[in-house]
């Protein structure tokens, strides 16, 4: 059974960098697409970006200038960095696996990690 688990600080100060890691178990990270998705309190889902096992990435244009997603195949992990955060970045952050087929749906999700941006 594939499992994903987010980890990282739950509180980040404004203007600083949000960093989260997703640890994948039950499958090798050396296949599939691996995405980050966030959900502000009471709002909908927003795709942040993905990294393919080859290392190629693609980001939501609204966040592209501030986001970096990276991969550590030796640890079966991938990570998210979001710089210059503001209160608007407060959200539950999910990591998820995305299939390589034509539809690219998300079949496995982490439980989510609430990150609050506040001084």
Q: How far is the CB of 99 from other proteins (least distance, A)?
A: 8
Interaction of residue 104 with other proteins, rule CB under 8 A: yes
Specify the pairing of strand 11-12 against strand 113-117.
parallel
**Site residues (CB under 8 A) for other proteins, limited to 79-98:** 94, 98
Q: How far is the CB of 40 from other proteins (least distance, A)?
A: 12
Distance CA 106, CA 100 (A): 10
Site string for other proteins, 34-73 (x = CB under 8 A): -x--------xxxx--x-------x-xx------------
Give the closest residue to 20 by CA, choosing from 87, 99, 77, 59. Answer: 77
Interaction of residue 103 with other proteins, rule CB under 8 A: yes
Cβ burial of 119 (10 Å; 0-12, 13-18, 19+) is: exposed
């Amino acid at each position: 059974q594939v499992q994903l688990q987010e980890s990282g600080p739950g509180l980040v100060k404004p203007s600083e960098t949000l960093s989260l890691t997703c640890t994948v178990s039950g499958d090798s990270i050396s296949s599939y697409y691996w995405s980050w998705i966030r959900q502000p309190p009471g709002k909908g889902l927003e795709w942040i970006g993905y990294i393919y096992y080859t290392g190629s990435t693609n980001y939501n244009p609204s966040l592209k200038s501030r986001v970096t997603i990276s991969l550590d195949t030796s640890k079966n992990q991938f990570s998210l960095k979001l710089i210059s955060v503001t209160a608007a970045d407060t959200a539950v952050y999910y990591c998820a696996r995305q299939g390589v087929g034509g539809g690219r749906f998300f079949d496995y999700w982490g439980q989510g990690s609430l990150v609050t941006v506040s001084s």
